[in-house]
Structure 1
């Protein structure tokens, strides 16, 4: 006689799956936070390095001064960075609503970088850190890196993939 084991009701299976998914999300979040803490150990939270520069469009930018008016999202990235190609569109959306300044690390000459931005249709302000001096001064060695600066102090720091909701929450909480 061929007896089949009774199958679990669908609701029980879905709840078990949801519980496992939530556990994985918690572990992933804790792991990501630990990595961010480790990577940010050399970055000061106050007395930040001065970041005054010219954007590719010729506009003067003073991030610390801007941060006293409203939070500023600072995005260190590179045209050569594969993860940045997923994060940059979200940064572009954020730039339409918030103060955003980006630093293109080791991404070539101004003309090459401008062509890349035009091709991708990005409208965010870009400082070309052609030789990586600004990023070195800020102790940034990983792309993408996002920082939220408010009142001259580092409020949030994260590196690696960051979602649009993650950026949005950081800006709201700053």
Structure 2
């Protein structure tokens, strides 16, 4: 029994290492055209009526920037992690091409998300930031992108990137 457990543990460790390597390679490939420094402005009004200025918010602290959409199936798995993280760390989220403010508000209420949202109804911020995949998550500190990941990620994955920034 110990041998079998040890064999499974080794296989799991190898699988996790391969998954980490593949994820890192995909992130690097998808982020090759993404602006790393001199990032575009991300200034806007949240659905709650609060002004957001990423450059100001990211001075001396890491900020999670989450580009997502109501129509994105993967976002429905990532958004709960972002919502949990937003209770403890600064988070700026941008809803891309998700409809009018009222539609996004209803979506947020239905899913019981509490994170603040800038609604990018016409995909203007998405174009400026060259977002091609939803979800896209960035860690920005001092106006520079420290980490970038796209597609599915978990709460530990986002938290780890945040701590490494």
1:63 matches 2:54: yes
1:73 matches 2:64: yes
TM-score by length of 2: 0.96
Identify the match of residue 109 of structure 1 among 87, 100, 106.
100
Please give the alpha-carbon distance, in whole angstroms, between the structure 2 residues aligned to 1:19 and 1:26.
11
Q: Which runs of 5+ in 2 are unaligned?
A: none
Paired position in structure 2 for 1:41: 32
User: Which structure has the bigger radius of gyration?
Assistant: 1
Please give the alpha-carbon distance, in whole angstroms, between the structure 1 residues aligned to 2:6 and 2:28.
33
Please give the alpha-carbon distance, in whole angstroms, between the structure 2 residues aligned to 1:56 and 1:160.
24
Paired position in structure 2 for 1:120: 111
Please give the alpha-carbon distance, in whole angstroms, between the structure 2 residues aligned to 1:39 and 1:172.
22
After superposing on structure 2, the runs of 4+ consecutive aligned residues of structure 1 that deviate more than 4 Å are none
Paired position in structure 2 for 1:6: none
Identify the match of residue 24 of structure 1 among 15, 18, 32.
15
**Which runs of structure 2 are paired with 1:130-149 in the superposition (5 Å)?**
130-149=121-140
Please give the alpha-carbon distance, in whole angstroms, between the structure 2 residues aligned to 1:110 and 1:69.
31
Q: Which runs of 5+ in 1 are unaligned?
A: 1-9
After superposition, the CA RMSD in angstroms is 1.0
- For the residue of structure 2 that corresponds to 1:42, the secondary structure is coil
Please give the alpha-carbon distance, in whole angstroms, between the structure 1 residues aligned to 2:63 and 2:71.
24
Identify the match of residue 82 of structure 1 among 70, 73, 81.
73
Paired position in structure 2 for 1:173: 164
